[in-house]
Amino acid sequence: MERIEKVVRQARAAFNSGRSRSLEFRIQQLKALERMVKEKEKEILAALHADLHKGGPNAYSHEILGVLAELALTMEKLPSWAAPQPVKKNLMTMRDEAYINFEPLGVVLIIGAWNYPFVLVMHPLIGAIAAGNAVVVKPSEVSENTAQLVADLLPQYLDQELYPVVTGGVPETTELLTQRFDHILYTGNTAVGKIVMAAAAKHLTPVTLELGGKSPCYIDKDCDLAVACRRITWGKYMNCGQTCIAPDYILCDPSIQSQVVENIKATLLVRRESLMLWELSPLQRRSEFLELWLLAGVLSTLFLLSPTILTDVSPDSKVMEEEIFGPVLPIVTVKSVEEAIEFINHREKPLALYVFSNNKKLIKRVISETSSGGVTGNDVIMHFFLSTLPFGGVGHSGMGAYHGKHSFETFSHRRACLIKDLKMEGTNKMRYPPVSQKKVDWTKFILLKRFNRGRIGLAVLALLGVVAAVMMKNHQSVLKRKALLVVLAVQRLGWPSGW
Amino acid sequence: MERIEKVVRQARAAFNSGRSRSLEFRIQQLKALERMVKEKEKEILAALHADLHKGGPNAYSHEILGVLAELALTMEKLPSWAAPQPVKKNLMTMRDEAYINFEPLGVVLIIGAWNYPFVLVMHPLIGAIAAGNAVVVKPSEVSENTAQLVADLLPQYLDRELYPVVTGGAPETTELLTQRFDHILYTGNSGVGKIVMAAAAKHLTPVTLELGGKNPCYIDKDCDLAVTCRRITWGKYTNCGQICIAPDYILCDPSIQSQVVENIKATLLEFYGEDVKSSPDYERIVNKRHFKRVVGLLEGQKIAHGGESDEASCFIAPTILTDVSPDSKVMEEEIFGPVLPIVTVKSVEEAIEFINRREKPLALYVFSNNKKLIRRVISETSSGGMTANDVLMHMMVPDLPFGGVDSVPPVTDP
């Protein structure tokens, strides 16, 4: 516990030293991470296999490839992401520099989850390093092999003080959460999400919460059922259903329910041999195992390890209460898309929502009449893989988002910067006391681009003259002098008293 | 209390009806707001004067003009802001449509502050309506006239169920915070900010907290002191120092300290005349509690100018303190009053170190002809926003995001 406080203190001191800020340093660290992932591929795959029974090819696709892609993208784009972003100016700030500066926040805490234990720690870490922060990494203790590997590997490749790894369970996490961070990204469930946010509130630490929910999957009658069901089967049963954006349950018309079942069965069959090898991963804890058994209401334990489909499920049953996070797929029948939309809207906003239909209008309708973290139409999971789309939840499924540039921005402070000079003080007269109606009218013109014709017609001309002068950079010095003369003339002419 | 629960429930039912979602509806509501501001200008100015002794032209510029500008901008840009934003695709998604869809969150809670009681409720309200949400508005009870006016006016112009106003103090706010919202925007101090965020955590409600802090103002030796001090004087003493982004204190070399004082004194004369108390442009402290708090900060300080006060009218004269010790009370909390301490530092390095030892402020100011020095201060410090060679102005650029970073030291609550 003392160690945790020390580790965070060291990370902060390391951040305050300023060395994590330069682009060169950040890219160097990201390169080292890339080397780590490539050199230690075997060890990473072994840990994932030990934790989740994830087969080599699967683990590689799901966890390693994504990380390498994110690293490559980030290293390529970082200079442009990190560059100050000029903003549109108004009349008042025409001569000034106005931009958003992207700055590191300080010390970031990343709390990983156990279902994709490597990628869910690495993705945020990449963004946090790219944004110039120090990062304390807390992998999930449930996936203990990956946690231990991350704790062993990161110090071998990265700056040890800036990016420490803290392992442990609830006591260690609780202790960590008493420390002060500048941002916390947590991946996990809603209940712990509330605890994380409450702890963060004590330090006014902003949070990104990647939570879960029951991601609905609506299958329209008008669609290619074979293809739809193959895609759903893939997304549902990968990692034994333990994917935060897995289609949790299906909504479809009763008339196609049995076809849906047949198609899913057929898809599962095709992969049966490989299924035995790598799809059937042991669920994480005995208690979850038992819970799923209860949810499924099925007596045979043998049946439970394999992909399960439930039909004519009642909306009030236990399996429809909480996020399943397992290989059990309930089908709830609905008579229309209206009913489906109503069903979805009666429940908490999910992390993902899926619609299968050839009818684009129907898809757009479902999107516009529901809410979810993200949507994929006519497929599942895939919005996760496009890094230009922000990945995150809404309502109980989370807050904030990341991936790609969104990670960079999540872990940055967007600082508003306005750089003026000390010249042209005359133009500021309108804002200073003593206040008068004339000054107010002038401000009104500047802000609203409207004016009372009679009173400040001349002043408008003067301003336009100044505007033109300022715009023509080639003859800047000459025109500046002329503009100043115009301003002086107007001052002398226009505002004898109230200014 | 029961009423609060009912009001929120009605707002949610109204949101669920879907009527706040269409662009036409949103723009119609914004137009109604615009009519309200124009038609009720007199009443709004009267309330602001009653609450803060804000003179008509001042109040108009600070609170009404800004709102009209935001309304005009929002109504003009809304169709483009609300349109789905296509994103760059990759090989896998080449044939697909990929975009970010902007959708309403649901029911938003806006908690206003008392120092700019009208604009700090209106600006967020405009954004929340524009985004298609229902909005519960809770103006600050400290600025009670404006709060009551907002409660009277909004129902006359806007959809009553979608945009209710809840008035009251701490008990009502506490009750409100037990309700579930889809976003809460709070403007105020960090003590209450923590309470708001903790309450929001129970419902996993995202929050936007506009808090405060001690906004440093570094004056380099290489700058036009007269212009610099005029701009600082304006930003510091407007609204009697009760601006969240007012320059809180000055950092400068000891060799220019007295010049700074002289220049500010000269500007004060220009702005308010000999008898500040009788200037219609000089505001008052909002209430006795804050009056006592600010006057208390003067204890043991070297008063280079000002220091006069009158409790009956909550008047505190524009005050400058020199050679202030970094450990004194006036350097602990956000001043939020017309007291300007000057702390001397021997170099920009010392200034940067001084700033970094403290909590990240909402705003930071640097005055220098040396652009390199300005960039250096920016890159070696952190703050919500900053303006170089002026004060307050970064708030006036609509495309610059306005907000803070990290937490700030607690201030006595309003």
Mean pLDDT, each 10-residue run in order, chain B (414 residues): 93 97 98 98 96 86 92 97 96 94 98 96 98 98 97 98 97 97 97 97 98 96 97 96 97 98 97 95 94 96 96 97 96 96 97 96 97 97 97 90 63 26
Helix (H, G, I), strand (E, B) or coil at A298: coil
Domains of chain B: 1-211 (3.40.605.10), 216-396 (3.40.309.10)
- In 3D space, the residue among A316, A322, A120 whose CA is nearest the CA of residue A210 turns out to be A120
What angle is formed at CA A65 by the lines to CA A60 and CA A67, rounded to 5 degrees? 120
Residues on chain B touching A413 (C-beta within 8 angstroms): 382, 405
pLDDT digit string (tens) for A344-400?
Answer: 999 999 999 999 999 999 999 999 999 999 999 999 999 999 999 999 999 999 999
Q: Which of A420, A425, A450 to mutate to test the interface with B (most CBs of B within 10 A)?
A: A420
Does A450 contact B at CB distance below 8 Å?
Answer: no
Of A390, A420, A435, the CB nearest to B390: A420
Distance between CA atoms of residues A95 and A102, nearest Å: 22
List, as ranges, residues 348-387 from B with C-beta within 8 Å of A.
Answer: 356, 367, 369, 371, 374, 378-380, 382-387
Helix (H, G, I), strand (E, B) or coil at B302: strand
* pLDDT < 70 regions, chain A: 271-305, 449-499
Q: What are phi and psi of B316, to 5 degrees?
A: -125, 125
What does B163-197 look like in DSSP terms, one character per residue?
A: S-B---SHHHHHHHHHS--SEEEEES-HHHHHHHH
Contact B197 A201 (CB under 8 A): yes
- A302 by Cβ neighbours in 10 Å (0-12 / 13-18 / 19+) ranks as exposed
List, as ranges, residues 27-86 from A with C-beta within 8 Å of B.
Answer: none
Query: Do you know the residue count of chain A?
Result: 499
Does B113 contact A at CB distance below 8 Å?
Answer: no
Does B398 contact A at CB distance below 8 Å?
Answer: yes
pTM of this structure: 0.91
Contact A88 B399 (CB under 8 A): yes
Query: Per the residue annotation, which of A217, A223, A240, A244 is the catalytic one?
Result: A244
Distances (CA, A) of A263 to A231, A243, A259, A268, A334: 11, 22, 6, 9, 19
- In 3D space, the residue among A130, A21, A28, A20 whose CA is nearest the CA of residue A81 turns out to be A130
Is residue A331 within 8 A of residue A222, CB to CB? The reply is no
Does B224 contact A at CB distance below 8 Å?
Answer: yes
State the pLDDT at residue A475: 57
From start to end of A14-123, where are the E strands? 85-86, 97-104, 107-111
State the pLDDT at residue A497: 37
ipTM above threshold 0.90:
yes
State the pLDDT at residue A62: 87
